[in-house]
A and B are shown apart, each in its own frame.
Chain A
Amino acid sequence: MSNTRVKFYQTGTFTVGNRLLDDSDRTVQSRPERTNSLNSGHRACQGCGEALGARYAIDAAMRAANNQLVAVNATGCLEVFSTPYPETSWQIPWLHSLFGNAPAVASGVAAALRAKGKKDTKVIAQGGDGGTVDIGFGCLSGMFERNDDVLYICYDNEAYMNTGVQRSGSTPAAAHTATTQAVGSQPGNPFGTGKSIPLIAMAHGIPYVATASVADLHDLEAKVTKAMGVTGARYVHVHVPCPLGWGCDPSYTLKVARLAVESGLFPLFEAEYGEVVARTPIRRLIKVDEYLKLQRRFQHLFGEPGQPAVIAAIQAQAERNIKRFGLVEKGEAK
């Protein structure tokens, strides 16, 4: 705190806006002139984390690109609930082709813009975890390898939600989905080796990779804005809860996302050219139980007898993340 100006703002960088903050410190979402790239009238479920995450990301990108933006969308929840004939809720130029080709289509859009000399128009490709981690993986890797000038945003709700909550390569261990049901001697999704696209993106050495959560708006906007200022292949992975698929109250969407970050299960970090360069430290560290017990997809882990060994294994995953990315600042372990 300086002597002349009080820098403390009651809610500071946590709320969407703050009447006490300078204009330059406010989020895009707090502004009445925000683009509302994904506008009202869409058919997302109540409390949909992806709808929120998409508006957050695209509004920030629009501001950064001076409204010169084209978006390519993979098949999935976001695409289906936003463009059912005759209604579209997108206010920006938007193209939906197929499930697995969003990165390639976006590469094509970028190539066309380059051919036409339209340097100021920027390209975003977006898709869910299914379209990114699984079926779109090949095209994504190609886009990374060519360093095409596209920002790819993945909205990760950890399953194929649009088709009825089936398991994807991003579904966490032990989670119940329609194809990894909580029945039998090993209920829920098996413990696989995991598939971290942010780390895979880093292995491609692309200029910018970041993870973000719908629960931390300032962080998400800063990362999207930063990505928009970089040329080449960029990747932002946004964690977005699905109240229906995860089995939590629609009003808890942000709470659950916050707990995922605070437990260490979803680490927030940035990387450039394959090296981690920044992380967002955990503010109030919690055990994974607090996060898991709010979601019906994990309810089989609790109760009598429950699955304490599984919870312990999940806790170990969280702690590995904390260690690997340095998420808890020294002297703050609670």
Chain B
Amino acid sequence: MSHPRPFAITLDPGSSLHNHTGTWRTQRPVYLNRLPPCNNACPAGENIQQWLYHAEEGHYEQAFHALIRDNPFPAIHGRVCYHPCEDACNRGQLDQPVSIHAVERFLGDEAIKQGWLPPAPAPASGKRVLIVGAGPSGLSAAYHLAMLGHKVVIYEAGPLPGGMMRFGIPKYRLPRDILDAEIGRLATLGVTIELNRPVADVAHDMAAGGFDACFLAIGAQLSKRTEIPCRDAGKMLDAVSFLRAVESGQEPVRLGRRVAIYGGGNTAMDAARTARRLGAEETLIIYRRDREHMAALEFEADEALQEGVVIRWLRTIKQMDDSSLTVEEMELDKDGWPQPTGRLEKLEADTLILALGQKPDSGFLAKVPGLQFDKEGVLKVDANLMTGYPGLFAGGDMVPGQRSVTIAVGHGKKAARHLDAYLRQTRYCPPPKPELASFGHLNTWYYSDAERSRQPVLDLLRRTSSFSEIHAGLSADTALFEARRCLSCGNCFECDNCYGVCPDNAVIKKGPGNRYEFNYDFCKGCGLCAQECPCGAIAMENEKI
């Protein structure tokens, strides 16, 4: 019963597809990946957005594997990293940043619980690499070099691996079973750690061990000192030794009843809070500048204060007696440096712990030709973390720059890459960084409102009377929720917005995991897709006319 259509008045479907409206365009949309600010801020170079993407789906093992491609220690970092990623997190401009560290910790803890291991490393290269120091930098380098197929041996001077993670950071922040579990994973990659094995002559040990290259990561384990006249030398100790002694369970230093800590950095906070837990009746931090200028992170000071630590700002110590300190009040000048006022006071204290900064114990390297040090013994390295001696790389607290576990871990990865290139006689050129996915690129309307999750915190009484971990981790549900707060800045998460808002049906949906493609035959270049992309993964480019 089908008749021929009346001419021109009646048209068959599909006839508009001959009209390629793409010829109207003066600009075209392109899909791109922009650099999420969290990735950009992470000293360890983690692809945070990527592992959060997997975590959002509940694919925790996949998330774990994405994470450890860059950083082998999620359970540790979720506890000790100062999370510059969260400071940079765009969500912070919307409501509160994503609690990235909490999700990272959840993944790390889950991996330990489930026994997940890194994938098989690359085929053996036949090269051997020596690493001096089993702190975060050395362990990270070991991990990456082992994954690249090299045989790695670590010489650690101390009785246990971990460096500052074990001997600097207190247990209440990083439980030792977690630390041991994550370090223990390296053994599955064939990494050997020789404990109680200090290095006095690097060149000799390298030759003797048949090593083709070496990475130095001895940290900064010497305390800086200052001249304070003191009657009884036994009542004054340095924070590094103090914390190491507490850790190794040696005969604990006899702490007095009133412990003073001199310094304003994180180590000072750690020392004070440890002293508190060891039973000091009073714990007092003395710092020559004020809160605004202190080196310690805000939360460290806050937690210390909560635990009853008292802080005396703007004081320097002139003299120490049996049971008291003489301090001078300071004033900050216009540049923020403390100047003496001449006003003195006495503070009751019978123990003084100095936390005035640290420097590397790098004297043994003096005989290595080509190396350059600053006056504190910090070893200079080039942009590839190589020292002046070919094949000798260094990183962590012993090289110039800021100091943290994460930065050290980042050095380990970077050095491993360049060291690997050195061994293969090639160059490692990091790929160019894409444009930053700043807040202005986002369309935040589309994100559901959600407040940041809070981790449960141990009550104060238990905190101050034990070394139990203060912060608990997130449950699986909450971790999932938190991961889903991620805005996926600059990276498509398949929300279908572009596919849906195109008035010309010019976006092709390729299927789950395969994102989208523009149909440039019909795209008129209106820019709605770019405007409505929540995460800023579409840019408009001018057409060449």
Contacts and interface: CB of A to CB of B under 8 A. Distances in A.
Asked if A and B form a direct contact in the complex, defined as CB atoms under 8 angstroms apart, the reply is yes
Nearest to B494: A19
A177 interface: no
Nearest to A12: B448
A89 B484 contact: no
A83 B14 CA distance: 11
A10 B485 contact: yes
A247 B70 CA distance: 49
A52 B488 CA distance: 26
B11 A91 contact: no
A17 B11 contact: no
A249 B530 CA distance: 13
Interface in A159-215: none
A49 B448 CA distance: 24
Interface in A264-308: none
Contacts of B525: 46
A76 interface: no
Contact of A6 (B12, B484, B495, B496): B484
Question: Which 6 residue pairs across A and B have the least CB separation, nearest first?
Answer: A17-B496, A16-B500, A251-B527, A41-B16, A47-B526, A46-B526
A18 interface: yes
B16 A88 contact: yes
Nearest to B483: A10
A16 B495 contact: yes
Interface of B: 8, 11-21, 24, 56-57, 445-448, 450, 477, 480-481, 484-486, 488, 493-497, 499-506, 509, 511-512, 519, 521-522, 524-528, 530-532, 534, 540
Dominant SS at the B interface?
loop
Contact of B17 (A1, A4, A16, A40): A40
B56 A47 contact: no
B503 A15 contact: no
Contact of B504 (A19, A40, A251, A254): A40
Contacts of A254: 501, 528, 531-532
A17 B500 contact: yes
Interface of A: 1, 3-4, 6, 8-20, 27, 29-30, 32, 36, 38-44, 46-49, 51-52, 55, 82-83, 85-92, 217, 243, 249-255, 258
Given A6-B477, A55-B503, A251-B527, A11 B522 contact: no
28 contacts: A1-B477, A4-B477, A8-B484, A10-B447, A12-B448, A13-B448, A15-B534, A16-B497, A19-B57, A40-B519, A42-B21, A46-B525, A46-B527, A47-B528, A49-B503, A52-B501, A86-B11, A87-B11, A88-B12, A88-B15, A89-B16, A92-B13, A250-B526, A251-B526, A251-B527, A251-B528, A254-B528, A254-B532
Nearest to A250: B526
Given A6-B484, A87-B15, A253-B528, A18 B495 contact: yes
Nearest to B511: A32
A90 B11 CA distance: 9
Given A9-B448, A85-B8, A47 B527 contact: yes
Contacts of B17: 39-41
Given A16-B497, A29-B500, A85 B448 contact: no
Contact of B8 (A15, A39, A86, A89): A86
Q: Which of B15, B24, B486, B528 has the most chain A CB atoms inside 10 A of its CB?
A: B528
Given A10-B447, A83-B11, A253-B526, 6 more contacts: A11-B448, A30-B499, A42-B16, A42-B19, A42-B21, A86-B11
Contact of B477 (A3, A48, A92): A3
Nearest to B527: A251
Q: Which of A15, A19, A254 has the most chain B CB atoms inside 10 A of its CB?
A: A15
A11 B447 contact: yes
A248 B474 CA distance: 46
Contact of B522 (A3, A4, A40): A40
A43 B19 contact: yes
A1 to B, nearest CB: 7
B237 to A, nearest CB: 50
B531 A252 contact: yes
Given A10-B484, A14-B446, A47-B527, A90 B500 contact: no
Contact of B18 (A1, A87, A91, A252): A87
Contacts of A32: 509, 511
Given A18-B495, A85-B8, A86-B8, A40 B530 contact: no
A12 B525 CA distance: 28
A10 B486 contact: yes
B477 A52 contact: no
Contacts of A1: 477, 481
B11 A88 contact: yes
B495 A11 contact: yes
A20 B484 contact: yes
Q: Which of A36, A42, A46, A49 has the most chain B CB atoms inside 10 A of its CB?
A: A46
Given A8-B484, A41-B17, A251-B527, A17 B447 contact: no
Contacts of B503: 44, 47-49, 51-52, 55, 253
Given A40-B504, A52-B501, A85-B8, A15 B496 contact: yes
B506 to A, nearest CB: 6
B500 A27 contact: yes
A220 to B, nearest CB: 11
Given A41-B16, A41-B17, A17 B528 contact: no
A18 B477 CA distance: 19
Contacts of A11: 446-448, 495, 534
A8 B448 contact: yes
B499 to A, nearest CB: 6
A38 B522 CA distance: 13
Given A11-B448, A36-B505, A88-B11, A29 B527 contact: no
A47 B503 CA distance: 6
Contacts of B18: 41, 87
B528 A10 contact: no
A41 B506 CA distance: 9
A30 B448 CA distance: 18
A37 to B, nearest CB: 10
Contacts of A4: 477
Contacts of B497: 15-17
Contacts of A55: 503, 505
